Structure 1
């Protein structure tokens, strides 16, 4: 699945980005300005990993970092205009991947699958 997503991202000119970068961009797309800790929690990665991923996104011009005016230990991450420009491509990629993922699976089967996956997730 990662390979397919990366291939799709490259079609839209998002070279040099891996799926973990996409996870960060997607989280920012949905939630807006976030702290580094919030980004880490949203994508299920530790803060040091997120720091390295965010640094690359900053270098590529997709996100910007800013310190909190009151507590300078807090760093916020936001999408830049270049990062915002990726929203339509991300939405299209998500739709295409989900359509491929669920090809030949009925709505009832999707509900059963999601229910089972949620139970497994709860068990862990």
Structure 2
């Protein structure tokens, strides 16, 4: 296998492992009704001034799929809709206290999930890897804005 293919499969494997580990830890903290996609939605919603159409673009899904996701999150008490001040047809999305609590749980879970990586690599190599990955990520971190 060539280096580029090997690298890409390793990054994908680690990404999948990380998402699953965070999901498992978040569920254990009392948020078992969430799926990994919800965390990606929360990250965008937390930045504020987001509509369902904006969320669709962030997630790379259709507006209809985003609307279904938003409806589910509203029904579960994680998100609320409020009137958009400039567009009577649109609604702005906002995390509820429960949505913010789930997001904080995900932050804690993410830290715990990568702790073994930091231990295995050592603090210096882990920091250098984090710096390198930040340079490669064109849109920066996907974590919530606090």
Please confirm whether the aligned pair reaches a TM-score higher than 0.5, indicating the same fold. yes
Does structure 2 conserve the Cα–Cα contact (< 8 Å) formed by 1:26 and 1:90?
no
Structure 2: stretches of 5+ with no match in the other structure? 1-16, 139-146
Consecutive aligned runs of 4 or more in structure 1 exceeding 6 Å deviation: none
Q: Which residue of 1 aligns with 2:45?
A: 28
Report SS of the residue matched to 1:34.
coil
**What does residue range 33-44 of structure 1 map to in structure 2 within 5 Å?**
33-44=49-60
Report SS of the residue matched to 1:104.
helix
Is residue 81 from structure 1 mapped to residue 101 from structure 2 by the alignment?
no
Partner Cα separation in structure 2 for residue 39 and residue 109 of structure 1: 29
Report SS of the residue matched to 1:77.
strand
Partner Cα separation in structure 2 for residue 43 and residue 75 of structure 1: 18
Is residue 4 from structure 1 mapped to residue 4 from structure 2 by the alignment?
no
Does structure 1 conserve the Cα–Cα contact (< 8 Å) formed by 2:80 and 2:94?
yes
Partner Cα separation in structure 2 for residue 87 and residue 52 of structure 1: 20
Give the number of aligned pairs.
117
Partner Cα separation in structure 2 for residue 89 and residue 38 of structure 1: 24
Normalised by the size of structure 2, how large is the TM-score? 0.64
Q: Which residue of 1 aligns with 2:128?
A: 108
Partner Cα separation in structure 1 for residue 97 and residue 119 of structure 2: 34
* Shift of residue 56, structure 1, vs aligned partner: 0.8
* Shift of residue 58, structure 1, vs aligned partner: 0.5
Q: Cα RMSD between the aligned structures?
A: 2.5
